[in-house]
Structure 1
Amino acid sequence: MLTNNLIKFVKSLQLKKFRDKNNLFIAEGIKTVESLFNSSTLTFEYIFITPGDFIEKLQIEKQKPLKIIEISENEMKKISGQTTITPVLAVIQKKDPPKLNYENNGLYLALDGIQDPGNLGTILRIADWFGVKALICSNDTVDVYNPKVVQSSMGSLGNVNFVYTELNNFLKIHFESQSVLAADVNGISVFDYRFPEKSLIILGNEGKGIRDYILSENYKKISIPAFGKAESLNVAVAGSILSSLWRKQYPSSR
């Protein structure tokens, strides 16, 4: 039964302070919920569904103890953050912080103040596609559990490691300066660049780029050459190109 208290509780998870307080987040839509459901890193608390056969499909693929609540479309409107009616909404426990050995080779992406939820969601999909070891996010990067991030990640949230931290100190502790690369318009062309097998690429804020005090560190600056008149590339597009070029050089790196 969908009580008023439960409605208020689920709707509160639209806000970061309540997601942090309860260690929970929400996911909506068949594709997103199905992908997250099949992730071994996540535990579901509730699944709210409108009438249909969606939940039977999930239960056949993987048995999990769930609080499954069937509700009407009007009730779904009360708890959903979307403008169109979604057939399924899930309340899920946040992932445990990853235990990573940053001495290992591989590709890492550092996000310096990314603000757009759609960009972060796309970067999660990129990281999932190219096998990025982890996203290292500055503390002011948009919350990875923001519903719009979860939605645009299309389930990749469950497959990607990420941490939030004071970025510059973290890089100094865990990465040698020669393995850190700053994506900057004044950098050298990546087209003829040989990436280190252990590479951390810093992607900057959508409007301001990478912070000056990070750029002032002894990190190599790299850029994607422009051949037209556009002033800049979208940060997620740039991240995809750079990840692709690194992966082309190290197709077997895990």
Structure 2
Amino acid sequence: MLSKAQIKYIQSLQHKKYRQKSGQFIAEGDKIVPELISGGMVVREVYATKEWISGHEQVLSGRVPVIGVEAHVLKQLSALTTPNQALALVDIPPAAPLVLKGRVSLALETIQDPGNMGTLIRIADWFGIKQLICTPDCVDVYNPKTIQATMGSIARVNIIETDLLSLLQKEEVPSYAATLQGTDITTFSKLAEGIILIGNESKGLSDAVIAASTHKLTIPRLGGAESLNAGVAAGIICGRLLI
């Protein structure tokens, strides 16, 4: 049984300022919660229906405190329109060191939509990219909708927030800016090191970031669409440059 204070605290984590203050976030999803536990994130508590708990005894197995709650309580706790059967209280991991040499990183500028951010984290995980760089004006990666969209990939990708322009100006590794005015992506060789740059959903990358990048690339357009979704573009670019 959760107290009113506990319910209020969990509900407060729907807001960025309280996540930052507490150093915790909530993760919702019947598949996501086990992924975070197995992925090594610090899960403080799990709140779930009795049916969900009985079906996940192997992954839980005394590794985290589990509190059985009724569906109507989960609905109170949930940040989603349709609540799941399980919700976890998780510590925000400490910032990992930024390492550019010898690896491929994905860098995002001013991504605003939580679903897009979650998809981009999931894409990074799919292609084995362990480091995701975000500008400070990106949507919070620990937004409940973002966490749900990652489908657990948040446990396997290090998130680093930094000023992208300053980073590029150091030119430690090559950088590849996605832009409509770039070079055909099919002319590029497979990457072993570098930063793939993806911009805002409507405006793309800023002129300053494009200018600071060492390479400008574009996905050839065969039809009449004006542009591609940020996640779709990132998936195509990663598939072409990393496989």
TM-score range with shorter-chain normalisation?
over 0.9
Aligned residues: 243
Q: Distance in 2 between matches of 1:16 and 1:61?
A: 29
Q: Distance in 1 between matches of 2:200 and 2:219?
A: 16
Residue 211, structure 1, aligned to residue 206, structure 2: yes
Residue 188, structure 1, aligned to residue 196, structure 2: no
SS of the equivalent of 2:217 reads strand
Q: How does 1:16-165 map to 2 (within 5 A)?
A: 16-40=16-40, 42-52=41-51, 54-61=52-59, 63-104=61-102, 106-165=103-162
**226-235 or 215-224: which moved more?**
215-224
**Alpha carbons 1:107, 1:246 under 8 Å: kept:** no
**Alpha carbons 1:183, 1:202 under 8 Å: kept:** yes
**Alpha carbons 2:198, 2:205 under 8 Å: kept:** yes
Shift of 1:64: 4.7
Deviations 1:140-174 (A, max 9, x none): 11111000100011000001111011111123346
Q: 2:242 aligns with which of 225, 230, 247?
A: 247
**Counterpart in 2 of 1:251?**
none
Q: TM-score, normalised by structure 1?
A: 0.90
Q: Distance in 1 between matches of 2:213 and 2:104?
A: 19
Amino acid at match of 2:107: A
Deviations 1:19-69 (A, max 9, x none): 0001000011111111111112x11111111121x3345442354553322
**Alpha carbons 2:135, 2:162 under 8 Å: kept:** yes
Structure 1 residue runs without a partner (length 5+): 249-254
Q: Distance in 1 between matches of 2:200 and 2:21?
A: 27
**Alpha carbons 1:38, 1:62 under 8 Å: kept:** no
Residue 228, structure 1, aligned to residue 226, structure 2: no
SS of the equivalent of 1:191 reads helix
- Name the CA shift for 1:174/1:160 in 2 (closer, same or farther; >3 Å): farther
Structure 2 residue runs without a partner (length 5+): none
**Counterpart in 2 of 1:15?**
15
Amino acid at match of 2:11: K
Q: Distance in 1 between matches of 2:124 and 2:207?
A: 25
Q: Distance in 2 between matches of 1:174 and 1:45?
A: 40
> Identical aligned pairs, as a percentage?
37
**Alpha carbons 1:182, 1:201 under 8 Å: kept:** yes
Deviations 1:167-195 (A, max 9, x none): 1112334633xx11111000000012224
**Alpha carbons 1:13, 1:26 under 8 Å: kept:** yes
- Name the CA shift for 1:117/1:219 in 2 (closer, same or farther; >3 Å): same
**Counterpart in 2 of 1:237?**
232
SS of the equivalent of 2:187 reads coil
